A and B are shown apart, each in its own frame.
Chain A
Amino acid sequence: MNCEDVIHDLSDFIDGDLDGALKQELESHLKDCEDCRLVVDQTKKTIEVFCDSEPVELPGEVRARLHDALRRKFKEAAH
C-alpha cells in the first residue's frame, strides 16, 4: 500500500468500514509514514470539530414565526 492508496481508503478507514486485511495494510503503512499519519489524524480532528459544534438558540423571531405557522396548520388539520 502506498500513500495514494491510503488517501483513497481514508474515509472507509476513519468510519471503520475497511475490511480486516486492508485495514492491517493501511495501519502498517501508517507506522512508517508520518505524512499519512498526519493526514489521518487531522482529517479525524476536522470531522470532530464540526461534529461537536452545537447549534445555538434559534433567533426568537424565527421561532415565533415557525410556531405561528404550526398552530395555523394544526387548526386547518382540525377542521
Chain B
Amino acid sequence: MVSPLSFLSTPNPHRLASKVAREDEHQLVAAAKSGDVTAFEELVNRYERKIFRLTMNITRNREDAEDAMQDAFLKSFSHLKTFQGDSRFYTWLVRIAANEALMRLRKRRPNQFSLDEPIEGDDDLMPRELQDWGPGPEQRFAQTEMREILSGVIDELEPEYRTVFVLRDIEELSTEETADAIGVSVPAVKSRLLRARLKLRQKLDRYFKRGETN
C-alpha cells in the first residue's frame, strides 16, 4: 500500500461546480448519449481527478483506487443510455465509483468491513477536554504538511465512517443519495456522518489546538 499523501492537497475555494458548468455537463452528457465519444472523453477529463480522489479516499490503496476509477468510467460509458438525468451526471458517476471502491475494500478486508454492521449508541460521543483552536488553524501548517495531516487522519477512520464522510461532506451527495449509494438506511447515514465528523474533529485536535504547531 502506498502513501496516499498525494491525493489531498491544500484548500482551494473554487471547487464547487457553477451553474454554467452544470448546464455544460448536461449538454456533454446528451452528446455522449447520442454517440459522441469526444463528449464522453471531455466528461472523463473533467472528473477523473475527483473520481480518483474518491476511490483513493474509500479504498486507501493505490492499486484498488486505480482499478475502481477505471472500471467506474468504463461502466458509466457502457450504461450511459440508462442514465435518466434525474440527478447530475457527476452524482451518478460518484455512485458507480463508490460501489466499485467499496467492492474492492470488501474483498481486501472481508472480516473487517461491513457497511451493514450495527453501529454503537450515542453514549460515547461527548467530546472531552476541549481546547480552543484559534482562528485559521490550518494556516499554521505548510501545504505539504497539511496534506499529510488530512490524509493521515482520514486514513485512521474506520471504513464505514470514512465512506459516509467522503460521500456526504467531500463529494456533497445528499443523505438520501449516500444511503442509496451504499445500501444503508438514511438514519444509519446520519448516525455515521455524526460519528465521522466528531472522530475527525478529535483527530485534528492533536494538530490544531493552540501551542501544538510545528
Q: A residues within 8 Å of B by Cβ?
A: 3-4, 7-8, 10-12, 14, 35, 38-39, 41-43, 45-47, 49-59, 62-63, 65-67, 69-70, 73-74, 77
Contact = CB atoms under 8 A, between A and B. Distances in A.
Contact of A49 (B37, B125, B127, B138): B138
Contact of B41 (A8, A39, A45, A70): A70
A11 B16 CA distance: 21
Considering residues A41, A50, A51, which has the most beta carbons from chain B within 10 angstroms of its beta carbon?
Answer: A50
B204 A49 contact: yes
B188 interface: no
A41 B138 CA distance: 14
Interface of B: 6-13, 15, 37, 40-41, 44, 48-50, 52-53, 66, 69-70, 73-74, 77-78, 122, 125-127, 130-133, 137-138, 146-147, 150, 154, 165, 169-170, 190, 193-194, 197-198, 200-201, 204-205, 208
A51 B15 contact: yes
